[in-house]
Amino acid sequence: MEVIVAIIVGVLFAVGIYLILTQDLLRIVLGTSLLTHAVHLLLLTMAMLKTGAAPLLDRGQEQFADPLPQALILTSIVINFGITAFFLVLSYRAYQKLDTTNMDWLRSESSRHRGHSR
């Protein structure tokens, strides 16, 4: 299963990066979301998958799945949420102000405000 997940990690990374390199602000935000998912899967895979039960002590189990990556990922999910929300509102406001979410137009738009129309 690890090999399959590793390939999925690769796919998610590729799509995420491709989205980040596009012009559209919203796609960039989506790209960061996909990247985060990729990193989460990568962390889980690195610790080997399904090595035991869920890391809860009161179930009478002896073998557990590695709890450390899970803790790291939990932190990451929450932070990613904060950042996604921030980016989203940022692009929302940028659109409201400048009428576009295209990165290239954003630049030329703001230079037009300076009187450098190019």
Residue 8 interacts with other proteins (CB under 8 A): yes or no: yes
Q: What are phi and psi of 96, to 5 degrees?
A: -60, -40
With binding defined as CB under 8 A, does residue 105 bind other proteins?
no
Q: How far is the CB of 43 from other proteins (least distance, A)?
A: 10
Binding to other proteins in span 73-102, by CB under 8 A: 73-75, 77-86, 88-90, 92-93, 95-99, 101
DSSP structure string for 7-47: HHHHHHHHHHHHHHTSSBHHHHHHHHHHHHHHHHHHHHHHT
Considering only residues 13 through 32, tell me which ones interact with other proteins, judged by CB under 8 A: 13-24, 26-27, 30
**Is position 60 an interface residue for other proteins (rule: CB under 8 A)?**
no
Q: How far is the CB of 117 from other proteins (least distance, A)?
A: 13
Judge residue 57's burial from the number of C-beta atoms within 10 Å of its C-beta, 0-12 exposed, 13-18 middle, 19 or more buried.
Answer: exposed
